[in-house]
Amino acid sequence: MKLLISNDDGVSALGIRTLANTLAQAGHDVTVVCPDRERSATGHGLTLHQPIRAEIVESVFHPAIKAWACDGTPSDCVKLALWALLDSPPDMVLSGINQGANLGTEVLYSGTVSAAMEGLIEGIPSIAFSLTSYTSKEFQGAADFAKTLVQQLAENPLPDLMLLNVNVPAIPQEEIAGVLLTRQGVRRYVDVFNKRVDPRGKTYYWLTGEVQEDIEPSEGLNLPKNVPIDVHVIRDNYISITPLQYNLTYATGLEKLSEWKLKLT
């Protein structure tokens, strides 16, 4: 398959090198276009008020991989690749492997998920891969699963256009309990801003939030109750695969609001 790979951890991140090299060694046609530095938690931001530059990267990835480092956001990278750098569209857009989980409402902030979502917006099936640890450097197990999943999708394509958000527990491969389809949970944080003073005496703030609780999504979303939540299955050492879409329309809300008598004045 022809694969485009990006990330939000930057060109030097071990996760993207492990993913890209593993898939190239498996015989896939791999192109990498990723940020030239870490761009985590940038969401789906795009660069509009300054030029975007991309430089060819050599001696970082497998010799068969064509690679560029871009000074834009993860979404910039995928958009630039699809419209300027690639000679033809890829069969699939992959993002990751991210250093850290992208579970529950974290997907709204995630540059990793947003890079994959950019592919989906352009009509290309996409997958976001994350390793659920901010410290582990053992990405090979997640990359091996990515290879298996990509091969499975090559043989049995997705029935509809969607994004698969994949989170892999940061444990030895032999301890993985299995793979489960999941629904997106809700992850609430305690947002703490540390107030500090720089050497020039100017005050600044550093966001240091931490997870407070993981809860069930709203019943109004009409999601199947028999499908487990992503944040729960990870704790039980399962790989989580959650299908996502970019259409955020609240269907139940439309039904309830249809009873309103809307007035212009």
List the chain pLDDT tens, one digit each, 265 residues.
999 999 999 999 999 999 999 999 999 999 999 999 988 878 888 989 999 999 999 989 999 999 999 999 999 999 999 999 999 999 999 999 999 999 998 899 899 999 999 999 999 999 999 999 999 999 999 999 999 999 999 999 999 999 999 999 999 999 999 999 999 987 665 666 788 898 998 998 877 666 655 566 655 556 667 899 999 999 999 999 999 999 988 888 888 888 888 888 8
3-state secondary structure of 108: helix
- Cα 180 from chain centroid (whole Å): 18
Contacts of 20 (CB under 8 A, 6+ apart): 5, 30, 32, 61, 62, 65, 67
Return the pLDDT at 224: 67
Look up residue 197 and give its two tokens: 């003073």
Return the pLDDT at 163: 97
Look up residue 16 and give its two tokens: 């993207």
**Domains of the chain (ranges, CATH numbers):** 2-184+219-255 (3.40.1210.10), 186-215 (no CATH)
Q: State pTM to two decimals.
A: 0.89
Bond into 97 cis (ω within 30): yes
3-state secondary structure of 73: coil
Q: Which residue has 């720089």 as its token pair? A: 198
Q: For residues 61 and 73, what is the distance between their CA atoms, to the nearest angstrom?
A: 20
Backbone angles phi, psi at 189, to 5 degrees: -115, 150
Q: Each residue of 195-242: pLDDT tens digit?
A: 889 899 899 887 766 665 556 665 555 666 789 999 999 999 999 999
Contacts of 68 (CB under 8 A, 6+ apart): 32, 33, 34, 54, 55, 56, 57, 81, 85
